[in-house]
Amino acid sequence: MRHLLAPIALTAAIALAAPATAQEVQIEDVKFLSRDGKTQVKGYLFKPANAPEKLPAVVMLHGRSGAYSSLAKGKYDASTLSARHKMWGKLLAQNGYAALMVDDFGPMGYPDGFGRFTYGDRPAALNEVTMRPLHAYGALRYLQTRPDIIANRVALMGWSNGGSATLAAMADDKPGDMRKIGFAIGIPLYPGCGLKNAFAKGYKPYHPVRVFMGSGDEEVSPTLCERFVSRSKAKGGDITIRMFKDATHSYDTPIRSRQSVPANAEAKAATETEILAILAERLKQ
């Protein structure tokens, strides 16, 4: 199913980042097989309505609260995606990318996700180190079968728990077939960097990783992520962290409660600009 969205009034930062004449964005409902070989995963593919024949792409992984708005009220489709996921899908599409928003909690029976401080209560099927990367690679494999996607120009981007899954997915420990079809770059936003101690002996990504987070994060530890990145760089990893002073968790969410914090608004604008520049350098050259 495809949905056409008329251009909307976005934040000033997005308006600056997007083309002068905002394009209509088309959203296609898709399904694909996870690399676990059994799970059918849902997704929503954002594209410019008048897209060129082939596009680079970005796979997007949601955080612990799932893909949808807290106001979804049992309706789980493109119209009820969270404000952040809609914003990024549209922003990326308007800048010449296909953006695949993955819902891998819904097919496992948890479309509403989880609240704060529920980490120990989540089922193993949603493990961000062992399972969610398999869904990400399923999304990549699916995109690479499409004639409208440039197969070797696909990035992985994730928020919070999805950022942790992005880190795990980019690790240089994947089977050869996954690395062969691998992501061109990983972009985790405010990830938890503990990763269940899976990389206690060291972490090195097979392609570049660019981490974004705020020093005022109240859900995950910025200090732990700085140490994680530092240790990885010492092992030769192509990984950096962009730390925004005083910005909180979910600082890029386009809702009043987050954007009324000046540090969040500044970090959001800078993150959009910097990520678009990173993607252009990695996927469009």
Query: Domain extents for the chain?
Result: 2-283
160-174 tens-digit pLDDT: 999 999 999 999 987
**pLDDT of 267 strictly over 60:** yes
CATH T-level fold of 2-283: Rossmann fold (3.40.50)
Name the nearest CA neighbour of 147 among 60, 47, 1, 41.
47
Phi, psi of 28 (to 5 degrees): -110, 130
Note the pLDDT of residue 21: 53
Place of tokens 């999805």: 162
Per-residue CA distances from 1 to 69, 96, 247 (Å): 20, 21, 37
Using 50, 70 and 90 to split pLDDT, how confident is the model at 22? low
In this model, does residue 4 exceed pLDDT 60? no
Of the candidate ranges 18-27, 177-186, 198-207, the one whose mean pLDDT is the lowest: 18-27
User: How many residues make up the chain in this entry?
Assistant: 285
> What pTM value is reported for the model?
0.90
217: pLDDT confidence band, cut at 50, 70 and 90? Answer: very high
Which H or E run includes 211? strand 209-214
- Residue 25 burial (CB count, 10 A): 24
Alpha helices in the chain (DSSP H): 12-17, 83-94, 132-145, 161-169, 176-180, 222-234, 256-259, 262-283
Task: Tell me the per-residue pLDDT of 101-133, one tens digit each, with 9 for 90 and over.
Answer: 999 999 999 998 887 767 677 888 889 999 999
**pLDDT at residue number 52:** 87
